[in-house]
Each structure stands twice: as C-alpha cells, then as structure tokens.
C-alpha cells in the first residue's frame, strides 16, 4: 500500500523507528543511491543506472547551466535568464551535497541498527504507539516535501512549454532547440528529466535532516519520560531501580552515537545551502518582482518556498533538540534520588554530568545550525535585491 506508513497505530501492528525513512529509501533507490546486494542479478546494471542519473543530474547540470550563459546568452529573455541562474547556483550547491552524501551512504544501515537498539526498551515499556506516530509523522513530512519539490518542477516545465522555451536553458551538446520543433521538444524533455532528477535528489538530502531531527527528538522525549518514572514504583528493589538507571544511561549513549553518526550527513549539506541561500532567494525575488508572468511567477514562488524549507525546518528542530537536552538534565536532577543508595546517587551524578552538554550541530564547523543563523543568511536576499535596484540592472536586462 502506498500510504501504509502513514496509518494510525493499531494494537499488535506498530512500526519501528527505522520505517521513518521508508519513503525516503524508496526515492533514494530510484535515483541510484541504494544499490542491491552484491549477489543480486541486477547489481552492476543498477550501478550503471546510478552513474548515469547522478552524473547527468548532479555533476553535469551545474556545468550545463554556466556553459549555456556563454554559448546561448543572447537567446535568453530576462525572465528566462533569472529563472535559469537562480537555479544554477542551487544546482552547484546540489553537486557539493551529493559529494558529501555518496561517501557516507554506509551510515544509513548503521543508523537503522542504532534505531532498532533504541526501540527495544521503548516497546518493552509500552511506548510503541509513540514511536509509530513519530514514524507516520516523518513519512507524512516526506510526502509534503515531495509535493512541494514536484510542484516546482511541474510548474517550471509547464511555464516553459507555454512560452516556447526550455525549462532552465541548460546547454545540451549538438542540440539547438531553436532549430526545429522536434529539437525543441527533445531538448525540453531531456532538460525536464535531468531537472526532475536533480530536484528529487535535492529533496532527499533536505528532508533527511528533518526526519532525523524528529526521530532524535522523539527518542529524547521517551528517555525523559523513563527518567521521570525512576524509583516511582515502590514495589521495585534497589537493584531493579539501579538497573533501570543504567539502561537509561546506555540509551542516552546510543542517542549520542545516533546523532554523531548522522552529523556529517546533516551539517555538510546545510553548510553548503547556507552559502547560497541568500543569493538564490535574492535572484528569485528579483525574478518574481520584475520579470515574472503568471506561470513563471507561480514557479518562482514555489522555488522560494522550497529554498526556505531546505534549511528553516531543521534549524528550528535543532533548537528544540537543545531544549530537550536541557529538559533531560532537569528530569534527572528532579527525579526521586534523595533516599536512594550511594551507588545509585554516584551513578546518577555521572548521568547528570554526561547530559550537561546539549546536542548541537555546527555547519562546516563555522555556522551554528539555529534560527538566528538561518535568518542572517536569508537576509542576504534583500541585499541582492537592493544591489539590483541601485545598479539599474533591471533596466539593463530589459
């Protein structure tokens, strides 16, 4: 079933945390990022397919954009040029993201194994429905991202077909789309396929960080609830209470490992996106304000929305994760430990010390991933618009 992983929880049929990435894995397999096992009969065919898709959409696309500005610059209208160039910088950023993601694909299997370990005590203590709801929420968010990114692709292609130009003006060797109707449709179809694949890859990388953040927060909250229940059951012995405390410490260690394994996959792409978000937003706003028709305006509006959801959601989630870490520290301190044994108190003090440092993410070792950084980077868009107006670039392009 297509919506199987969006269903509400039902007794005896609960989804594990690893299924939060189910739809994402299907998409990554489609673009060639999830190869089958080596003994699979289509193993080498899949690698050839992956090389073609990733090579054309991830590696060639940025060069295709910039070559077209030298070869076909006079053929661009101002609107077509801005529609192309606002995406060209984002496609260059995509190439950097892919270069970060592909060497780290081995981490996905380790991440799922860690989630299985984190799920075990949660299911044992009756928190399976909370995990299931988190999984359904993550897959729903993936579908929202899918609709947003696909809408941009569809609107851009439709507006270009209606105006008689190719979607992004990518340079295709030995093919001039102005030479004939057949050449136009061939070039438009080739651009549409390459562009759709590139947009999909961008979507997979961007939505992964959001899903990871939601899953991490869910396990932090479940751990907080378990800590709050420590020594609440009067019928349990000191050894049983101590064993539960030790298990909470182990789960916290696994949560930290889960965040560390994900750190390169999350911080690297966001760092690359931070570097170009202001420029891309500024060019998109200039296109929307001065050169857009109804159809290109719709496509550009969706493009601006897509740019915002590339960084904003995880920056927001990152701050919530830091708050959850502080809540965990408070839960440990306010737990019922006053009448516990010395062994329990010493272990609790060690646990409290381990949670003093919140889980934080820094993009490229430079930019803290938080709302303030995201806003500062996005504010560069207004600088771009101001420069364009002050230098009369709009009149020159017209």
The pLDDT score that the predictor gives to residue 159 is: 82
Q: Name the band, by pLDDT with cuts 50, 70 and 90, for residue 351.
A: very high
At residue 12, what are phi and psi to the nearest 5 degrees? 85, 0
CB 251 within 8 A of CB 121: yes
Query: Residue 200 — pLDDT band, cuts 50, 70, 90?
Result: very high
Arithmetic mean of pLDDT over the chain: 87
**Per-residue pLDDT reduced to its tens digit, 233-257:** 878 788 888 999 999 999 999 999 9
- Residue 110 CA, chain-centre distance (Å), reads 18
pLDDT score at 70: 82
Helix axes 294-333, 342-354, angle to 10 degrees: 150
Task: Give the predicted TM-score (pTM) of the model.
Answer: 0.92
Residue 222 has φ and ψ, to the nearest 5°, of -65, -35
Give which of 358, 187, 116, 130 is closest to 256, Cα–Cα.
358
Q: Which distant-in-sequence residues (6+ apart) come within 8 Å of 76 by Cβ?
A: 69, 84, 169
Residue 365 predicted with pLDDT over 80? yes
Q: Which tokens is 204 given?
A: 């997979």
Q: Is the dihedral of CA 274, 277, 278, 279 positive or negative?
A: positive
Each residue of 319-332: pLDDT tens digit?
999 999 999 999 99
Per-residue pLDDT at 180: 83
8 A C-beta contact, residue 220 and residue 255:
yes
- Beta strands 362-363; 367-368: pairing state: antiparallel
**pLDDT given at position 67:** 85
Question: For the segment 14-62, what is each residue's pLDDT rounded down to a tens digit?
Answer: 999 999 999 999 999 998 888 888 888 888 888 888 888 888 888 888 8
pLDDT score recorded for residue 267: 92
User: For the chain, what are the domain ranges?
Assistant: 4-397
pLDDT class of 383 with cuts at 50, 70, 90: confident
Report the distance separating Cα 310 and Cα 377, nearest Å: 12
């Amino acid at each position: 079933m297509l919506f199987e992983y969006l269903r509400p929880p039902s007794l005896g049929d609960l989804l594990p945390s690893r299924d939060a990435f189910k739809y994402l894995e299907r998409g990554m397999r489609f673009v060639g990022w999830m190869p089958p096992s080596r003994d699979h009969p289509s193993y080498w065919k899949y690698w050839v397919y992956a090389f073609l898709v990733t090579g054309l959409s991830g590696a060639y696309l940025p060069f295709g954009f910039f070559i077209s500005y030298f070869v076909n610059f006079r053929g661009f209208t101002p609107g077509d040029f801005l529609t192309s160039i606002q995406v060209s910088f984002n496609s260059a950023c995509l190439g950097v993201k892919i270069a970060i993601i592909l060497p780290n694909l081995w981490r996905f299997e380790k991440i799922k194994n860690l989630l299985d370990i984190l799920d075990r005590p949660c299911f044992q203590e009756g928190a399976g429905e909370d995990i299931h709801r988190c999984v359904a929420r993550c897959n729903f968010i993936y579908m929202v991202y899918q609709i947003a990114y696909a809408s941009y692709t569809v609107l851009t292609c439709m507006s270009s077909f209606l105006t008689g130009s190719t979607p992004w003006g990518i340079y295709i060797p030995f093919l001039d789309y102005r030479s004939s109707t057949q050449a136009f449709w061939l070039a438009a179809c080739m651009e549409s396929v390459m562009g759709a694949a590139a947009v999909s890859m961008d979507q997979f990388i961007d939505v992964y960080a959001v899903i990871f953040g939601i899953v991490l927060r869910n396990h932090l909250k479940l751990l907080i609830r378990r800590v709050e229940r420590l020594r609440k059951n009067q019928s349990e012995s000191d050894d049983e209470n101590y064993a539960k405390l030790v298990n909470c410490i182990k789960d916290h260690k696994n949560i930290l490992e889960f965040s560390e394994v994900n750190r390169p996959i999350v911080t690297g792409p966001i760092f690359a996106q931070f570097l170009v978000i202001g420029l891309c937003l500024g060019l998109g706003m200039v296109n929307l304000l001065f050169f857009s028709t109804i159809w290109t305006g719709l496509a550009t509006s969706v493009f601006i929305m897509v740019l915002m959801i590339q960084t904003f959601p995880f920056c927001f989630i990152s701050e919530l994760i830091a708050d959850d870490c502080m809540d965990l520290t408070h839960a440990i301190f306010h737990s019922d430990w006053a009448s516990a044994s010395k062994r329990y108190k010493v272990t609790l003090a060690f646990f409290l010390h381990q949670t003093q440092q919140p889980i934080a993410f820094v993009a490229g070792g430079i930019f803290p991933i938080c709302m303030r950084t995201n806003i500062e980077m996005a504010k560069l868009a207004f600088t771009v618009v101001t420069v364009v107006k002050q230098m009369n670039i709009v009149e020159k392009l017209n």
